[in-house]
Amino acid sequence: MGRYRTHYIIKHGRHIISNAATIVWLRLDLRLADNPALIAAVKRGLPVIPVFIWAPEEEGDWPPGTASRWWLHQSLAALDATLRNLGSRLIIRRGPTLDTLRTVMKETRADAVFWNRRYEPALVGRDARIKATVAAESFNSALLVEPWEIHNAEGHPYRVFTPFWRACVSRYANDVPATSPMKLPAPRKWPQSLTLEALELEPKVDRAKTMRATWQPGEAGAHKQIQMFLAGSVDNYGGDRDRPDIVGTSRLSPHLHFGEIGPRQVWRAICGHPSPSAMEYLRQLGWREFAHHLLFHFPDTTDKPLQDEFAKFPWRRDAKLLRAWQRGQTGYPIVDAGMRELGRTGWMHNRVRMIVASFLAKDLLVSWQEGARWFWDTLVDADLANNTLGWQWVAGCGADAAPFFRVFNPQSQAQKFDPDGEYVKRWVPEHGTQRYAAPVVDHALARARALEAWTALRKG
């Protein structure tokens, strides 16, 4: 407590009168349970001021995309409602963040700001500057193990998943997630707040109705989703997780990204389920950890390949082909189904993500950066670490990546993972009729062209 001003506390009814308070700066940690920053603030025994600051310009080249903003609006609304049930509320402001925090600190006489860490390159630097300016503490709510806590035998960051995951599991203490506080100490007078609508987060797009019907953003929605997974799909996860035609995955990714549920909570819930497939699911949680490990140690990979030689790869610029891919009009049913599912719901099955990414980068020879940008704007679970890892993995230019010569055949992938064609029927109803688009490329010829470009790159 020596870092903060001396304070006194007087309890008066439901409120705490004090000459100090604690600001909890909420970001991608939109939950009450197992929220280290919030829990630490409550333990101080002072009024707690939950604050959200909208400052997308501080996120560098990667401000939240359209689908992310839609989800954020719903999640903030849900969080505010939960806070009000505890006698608290969410204070909403616009950036710049440092100036805004200083203003709220002055208004509330807060002597400390607590937050949970983020790992995106632009925000790591921003947060460090803020911590050097105001009295602050940061915590880990988003990962099982911090990116700087594990390294290989040479002391370097891991670039291969399996040894990384072994080290991560051995390091993780299997902590018991903390429960939600029963009550939050409130100040005698709340500072002013913008309305959520004033942030203009919700895009005016046709798919908003479909997304509302598909998702329940917020902490309650996250817990409902994991309970549904534990009650159903988890038992057959190992065999069903690659099948887009059935509900075989957890669909927790947007909830994890926005911090409506934390990885410690997911780990504990999955470990408590007696199923071999449950352990296989935890390995997928490990890929999320690996993605954040890589982003932290290799921040340039959001735009540049981790494998330097791929910087000279002869990608094609073809706006027409890119647009056909974005609209789901390539003439390849499994690709088009995935892109239309994305366009309508803001989500796409992971197996299909790999198929459509391979098609863009290898069949069309359009750069993985173009695909990453499109996913960033359209996915409700758009996460900079996961998005970067996924696209570089498919393009063969990242850490532990699939080799470039592994070119997914969209027809055989569909036969294997959508054997009855149910997924395609759902999203491409005109398939099999004259209304369906002709293939934009011949896969066999496109594959040969891609391998020729790769071979030329290797020869220098």
Residues 130 and 162 reside in one and the same domain: no
CA 97/CA 363 separation, integer angstroms: 43
302, part of any domain:
no
pLDDT, residue 276, reads 82
Residues 347 and 262 reside in one and the same domain: no
Mean pLDDT of 288-304: 98
CA 167/CA 164 separation, integer angstroms: 5
Percent of the chain with pLDDT over 70: 96
Mean pLDDT of 220-235: 95
Residues 148 and 287 reside in one and the same domain: yes
Residues 368 and 441 reside in one and the same domain: yes
DSSP track, 268-317 = HHHHTS--HHHHHHHHHHHHHHHHHHHHHH-GGGGTS-SSGGGGG-----
pLDDT, residue 441, reads 98
CA 47/CA 186 separation, integer angstroms: 5
CA 247/CA 239 separation, integer angstroms: 12
Residues 292 and 155 reside in one and the same domain: yes
CA 97/CA 111 separation, integer angstroms: 16
Residues 93 and 43 reside in one and the same domain: yes
Q: Sorting pLDDT into bands at 50, 70 and 90, what band is 14?
A: very low
Last residue of a domain, one of 266, 297, 328: 297
The average confidence (pLDDT) of the chain is 94
Mean pLDDT of 4-15: 48
pLDDT, residue 451, reads 96
Write down the residue that tokens 């690996």 correspond to. 290
Percent of the chain with pLDDT over 90: 89
Domain harbouring 441, CATH code: 1.10.579.10
Residues 448 and 312 reside in one and the same domain: yes
Mean pLDDT of 370-375: 98
Domain total of the chain? 3
**66 closest CA partner among 195, 198, 207:** 207
CA 335/CA 312 separation, integer angstroms: 27
H or E segment and range at residue 98: helix 97-108
Residues 239 and 134 reside in one and the same domain: no
Residues 124 and 262 reside in one and the same domain: no
Mode of pairing for the β-strands spanning 21-26 and 110-116: parallel
- What radius of gyration do the chain's Cα atoms show? 23
pLDDT, residue 279, reads 84
Mean pLDDT of 195-209: 87
Mean pLDDT of 219-243: 95
Residue 365 has pLDDT above 70, yes or no: yes
Tens digits of residue pLDDT in 245-254: 999 999 999 9
410, part of any domain:
yes
pLDDT, residue 400, reads 86
Residue 260 has pLDDT above 80, yes or no: yes
- Classify 399 as helix, strand or coil: coil
Residue 90 has pLDDT above 70, yes or no: yes
pLDDT, residue 208, reads 82
Out of 20-29, 232-241, 334-343, 370-379, which region has the weakest mean confidence (pLDDT)? 232-241
Mean pLDDT of 66-81: 97
63, part of any domain:
yes
Residue 445 has pLDDT above 50, yes or no: yes
Mean pLDDT of 97-126: 98
Last residue of a domain, one of 233, 263, 297: 297
Domain harbouring 152, CATH code: 1.25.40.80
CA 65/CA 69 separation, integer angstroms: 6
Last residue of a domain, one of 248, 275, 297: 297
pLDDT, residue 18, reads 54
223, part of any domain:
yes
Residues 321 and 442 reside in one and the same domain: yes
- CB neighbours (10 Å) of residue 427? 22
2, part of any domain:
no
399, part of any domain:
yes
Mean pLDDT of 403-407: 91
418, part of any domain:
yes
187, part of any domain:
no
Task: Tell me phi and psi for residue 49, to 5 degrees.
Answer: -115, 100
Residue 70 has pLDDT above 70, yes or no: yes
The structure's pTM equals 0.95
Out of 1-10, 342-351, 353-362, which region has the weakest mean confidence (pLDDT)? 1-10
Residues 331 and 445 reside in one and the same domain: yes
Mean pLDDT of 179-184: 95
Domain harbouring 131, CATH code: 3.40.50.620
How many Cα atoms occupy the beta-carbon half-sphere of 241 within 13 Å?
16
Q: Which two tokens stand for residue 266?
A: 């997911």
**Residue range(s) defining the domain that contains residue 23:** 9-141
Residues 431 and 347 reside in one and the same domain: yes
